Amino acid sequence: MTSSRWTVPLLSVLFVLLWASGFIAAKLATRTTDVPTVLFWRFVIAAAATGVAAAWLRPAMPRGRSLVHLVVTALLLQVGVFSAVFTGLARGVPAGLTSLVVGLAPLLVGLLTPLVLSTRLGAAPAIGLIIGAGGVYIVASGGLSAGGPVGPVLLPVLGMAFLTAGTLYQKRFNDDTPVASGVAVQMVTSMLVLLVAMPFLAPQWLPTGAGGWVAVAWLGVINSAGTFAVMFVLLRRRSTVHVSALMNLSPATTALLAVPLLAEPLTGRAVVGLLVALVGMFVGLGAWPRLRRRRDDVSPVTRSGSMHP
Q: Does 171 or 162 have the greater pLDDT score?
A: 162
Domain ranges of the chain: 2-305
Q: Per-residue pLDDT tens for 72-124?
A: 999 999 999 999 999 999 988 888 778 878 877 777 777 777 777 666 666 77
Average pLDDT score over the chain: 79
Residue 138 or 166, more confident: 166
What's the pTM value of the predicted model, to 2 decimals?
0.78
Residue 178, phi then psi, degrees to nearest 5? -55, 135
pLDDT of the residue at 296? 41
Higher pLDDT, 286 or 254: 254
Residue 26 in this model has a pLDDT that exceeds 80: yes
Contact 167, 77 (CB under 8 A): yes
List of residues 6+ apart from 82 with CB closer than 8 A: 26, 39, 42, 159
Greater confidence, 244 or 230? 230
Query: How remote is the C-alpha of 295 from its chain's centroid?
Result: 26
Whether the Cβ atoms of residue 157 and residue 144 lie closer than 8 Å to each other: no
For the segment 121-130, what is each residue's pLDDT rounded down to a tens digit? 667 767 877 8
Q: What pLDDT, in 10s, does the model give residues 229-240?
A: 888 788 878 777
Nearest Cα to Cα of residue 102 among 91, 116, 88: 88
d(CA 41, CA 194): 9
Write down the H helix ranges in 218-288. 227-237, 240-247, 250-262, 268-284
Torsion, Cα of 264, 105, 245, 236 (10° steps): -120
146 has a pLDDT exceeding 70: no
Query: Residue 171 in 3-state DSSP?
Result: helix
Distance CA 256, CA 274 (A): 9
Task: Show the DSSP H helices in the chain as ranges.
Answer: 2-30, 35-57, 65-73, 81-90, 95-102, 105-116, 123-145, 154-173, 179-201, 209-217, 227-237, 240-247, 250-262, 268-284, 289-296
Which stretch of 144-153, 164-173, 277-286 has the lowest confidence by average pLDDT?
Answer: 144-153
First-last CA distance in the chain:
18
Q: Residue range 40-57: average pLDDT?
A: 89
- pLDDT at 179 (0 to 100): 78
On the question of pLDDT at 276 being above 80, the answer is yes
